[in-house]
A = this chain, B = another copy of it.
């Protein structure tokens, strides 16, 4: 069903079927941002597969806005690396190379180490409570084996890392992390080997525990191990079927 049809019925139409978030009040603040957010969710959830074309007219008509707005939303996603736009050709969901995937995780190892350090200094009791709450959510999704739950799982497990960035209190690093998490999700969706969660909540739990015990070194070690684990779960060999897939992307 989510398979993209050949001629006229684009994969993009599928996302209309998903419930749209608060459309009434928040949207008028910046409609392009709202559209960007929905599209990003769709990309990260793999409802839009890499290589899928995002035509300005189609995006616009799906959200009942002009091409101007759609174009703006696509431009934002291009800045984040989730969308690749080619002049006079259009915008496509990015199809990151294995090399790019490795760079993403290298960057994460570096930045998340720093974030962890700052976060450790700032974590309050309420923060720890919020994290425990979050881990519960992860655990629930892990038990559910539905396809929808799996997609949610990727996003929610990213939230753990984003929460750390939030607590760290550095807006710039947080912004970097948001980009990295988005791209990671795309890469995981692309190259993920196992069906099992690539971002074990066990790892998250261990990191949290180490933080709570005040053992930053241990937390850092576990974080690095965790990221390595995610990366190791990818199949980054020179893809074969992908080039084929790319050929019929349009």
A76 at the interface (CB under 8 A from B): yes
Tell me the number of copies of this protein: 2
Interface residues as binary, A70-111 with B (CB distance below 8 Å gives 1, 0 otherwise): 001001100101000001000000000000100110110011
Secondary structure class of chain A's binding surface, majority of residues = helix
> How many residues of A sit at the interface, in one of the four size bands?
20 to 34
Interface residues as binary, A113-124 with B (CB distance below 8 Å gives 1, 0 otherwise): 110001000000
Q: Kindly specify which of A45-53, A132-140, A167-175, A238-246 makes contact with the partner chain.
A: A167-175
The reply to whether A110 and B79 contact each other, CB–CB distance below 8 Å, is no
* Other-chain contact of A87, B30, B100, B113, B176 (Cβ < 8 Å): B30
The reply to whether A170 and B106 contact each other, CB–CB distance below 8 Å, is yes
A35 at the interface (CB under 8 A from B): no
A29 at the interface (CB under 8 A from B): yes
The reply to whether B72 and A104 contact each other, CB–CB distance below 8 Å, is no
Chain B residues within an 8 Å CB radius of A172: 81, 100, 103-104, 107, 180, 183
CB distance from A77 to the nearest CB of B (A): 11
